[in-house]
């Protein structure tokens, strides 16, 4: 299900270009436009789910699919030595695009602190 006003739905649909790194039936992944590390990929479910608060027993399979994609992308990007996955949720969590997404960040030694 798509939200016509959602930036990431438009990227998934190809209406807005992106640097795609992975796609399957339920997941789309592309490079962040403002990378915070040598590898910074956004892994998103194709289904429009606004944030992690909206996950429930009916739709949580897509979150598992996202993490399966994370493992594949981490290997294809050469991140076997480690990486970080971040989900920002809501205003206090710093979420700026209201379509559930996981930041896959790596390619250098990351800070031990995440806040």
* DSSP annotation of 53: G
The residues carrying an active-site annotation are 101
Structure tokens at 14: 């190809």
**Closest separation in Å from C-beta 86 to Zn ion:** 18
User: Could you give the strand order of the β-sheet that contains 39-45, starting from the edge strand earlier in sequence?
Assistant: 20-23, 27-31, 39-45, 102-106, 83-86
Distances (CA, A) of 75 to 1, 4, 61, 104: 29, 33, 22, 12
**Residues constituting the chain:** 115
Phi, psi of 62 (to 5 degrees): -70, -30
Instruction: Kindly state whether residue 102 participates in binding ligand 5GP, applying the rule CB under 6 A.
Output: no
* Minimum distance of Zn ion from residue 2's CB (angstroms): 6
By rule CB under 6 A, what string of x and - marks binding of each residue 31-50 to ligand 5GP?
A: xxxx-------x--------
Residue closer to Zn ion, measured from CB, 52 or 110: 52
User: From the list 38, 78, 90, 94, which residue makes contact with ligand 5GP (rule: CB under 6 A)?
Assistant: 94
Identify which of residues 14 and 38 has a Cβ nearer to Zn ion in the complex: 14
Cβ distance to Zn ion smaller for residue 9 or 73: 9
**Binding-site ranges for ligand 5GP (CB under 6 A):** 7, 18, 30-34, 42, 88, 94-97
């Amino acid at each position: 299900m798509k939200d016509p006003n959602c930036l990431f739905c438009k990227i998934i649909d190809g209406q807005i270009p992106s640097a795609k790194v992975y796609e399957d039936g339920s997941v789309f992944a592309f490079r962040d436009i403002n990378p915070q590390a040598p590898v910074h990929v956004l892994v998103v479910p194709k289904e429009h789910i606004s944030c992690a608060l909206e996950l429930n027993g009916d739709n949580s399979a897509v979150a598992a699919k996202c993490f399966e994609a994370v493992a594949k992308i981490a290997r294809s990007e050469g991140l076997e030595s480690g990486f970080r996955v971040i989900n920002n949720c809501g205003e206090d969590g710093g979420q700026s695009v209201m379509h559930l997404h996981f930041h896959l960040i790596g390619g250098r030694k990351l800070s031990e602190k995440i806040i």
